[in-house]
Amino acid sequence: MAIDLGTSGPKVALVSVHGRVLACRVGTITTHILPGGGAEQDPEEWWTAVKTTSCQLLADHPHAVANIKGIGCTSQWSGTVAVDGNGHHLMNAIIWMDSRGAPYAQAITLHWLTDNRDIDHIHYDPTLLQYTTMDRDKLPDLKRTVDILGPLQAEAAQELGLPPHIPVIMGTPDIQSAAIGSGAVRDYEPHLYIGTSSWLTCHVPFKKTDLFHNMASLPSAIPGKYFIANEQETAGACLTFLRNNILNANDALACDPPVGDMYAVFDEMVAQAPVGSEKVIFTPWLHGERTPVEDHLVRAGFYNLSLRTTRAHLIRAVFEGVAYNSRWLLRYVEKFAKRPLNNIHMIGGGANSAIWWQICARP
């Protein structure tokens, strides 16, 4: 069983030992956007959504329960969950989108606490811990992605609808797991992910940091390998924002007869709009930006609107704006890798849109 706690909600799947997805269920969770760059989620809602989605999946495939040999987890990363001595959360989780801590992070040090210059000997660095005033005793021991954390506890097993003592694999953050899922596992094989956020990354055979563009090679999910880490704050989230806040498309979903899948409708409208959206430009920075320029205050916008501008132009401009930003990021990833990167694998919800990956594929 694979459990992916994404920003928009959990995805729980039954996967064969050969990597074939046999069945999948998707849940939803709420992101609370707060003034000043705040972005929070409720850990209790995480667990409730994971439980509900897991039970729904197993109810659809009751005979699969006896054949589950392990649980692998992946999730959004760079988040903080404050807990008490018993492991119970004390408040909402401050997730990766939250930028309120920027001035404090800059006043303390680097984001990371580990020395990963030797890929086979990664450890907490005493100097970095001292800079951040973090207590080592409050941090978990480091393990590899492929290591077994331990057996599934009886209480959790009951809530998930599983037998106890199934091995729980350590797992990995979403960018590393996506690299494997994309099939781009060899050095310099890139993949572009478009989901709530976006990234363009590849494995590299070296340790390197680009401070000027907020990128670095970090340990991969594959033991003994690095990958170049970067990220675009909002990608698919821009389309969701357009649907909910600008076009008010939820009203169309509730009409009689219902429109159906609005994203499919968007695809059709984009296909009818001219390439370049008649020079309407959308900058996809609804929540600041991470790379290749780190600025939590930069904001999105539509430019070159005219009396000829239609909804189709706006929608296509969002598709194209995300693609332009990915191309901007590609330039710095190629500079980092010191070579052109071709045959980019595209994954994520955005890859379900044939017109979107055609836009991204244009020279």
pLDDT, one tens digit per residue, over 306-337 is 999 999 999 999 999 999 999 999 999 999 99
- Which domains does the chain possess? 1-98+145-172 (3.30.420.40), 101-142 (no CATH), 183-363 (3.30.420.40)
Kindly tell me the sign of the dihedral angle through the C-alpha atoms of 51, 56, 58, 62: positive
Pairing between β-strand 93-94 and β-strand 38-41 as defined by DSSP bridges: antiparallel
Q: Is omega for the bond preceding 257 within 30 degrees of 0, making it cis?
A: yes
Amino acid at 276: G
Of 233, 240, 242, nearest in space to 297 by CA: 233
Q: What is the pLDDT of residue 255?
A: 43
pLDDT at 251 over 60: no
Per-residue confidence at 111, pLDDT binned at 50, 70, 90? low
Q: What is the pLDDT of residue 363?
A: 64
| CA dist., res. 5 & res. 116, Å (int) | 25
Count other C-beta atoms under 10 Å from residue 110's C-beta.
13
How far from the centroid of its chain's Cα atoms is residue 86's Cα? 29
Q: Is omega for the bond preceding 10 within 30 degrees of 0, making it cis?
A: no
| CA dist., res. 191 & res. 2, Å (int) | 21
Per-residue confidence at 248, pLDDT binned at 50, 70, 90? confident
Contact 84, 31 (CB under 8 A): no
Contact 147, 172 (CB under 8 A): no
Please provide the average confidence, as pLDDT, over all residues in the chain. Answer: 91
By CB atoms closer than 10 A (0-12, 13-18, 19+), residue 31 is middle
* DSSP state, residue 62: G
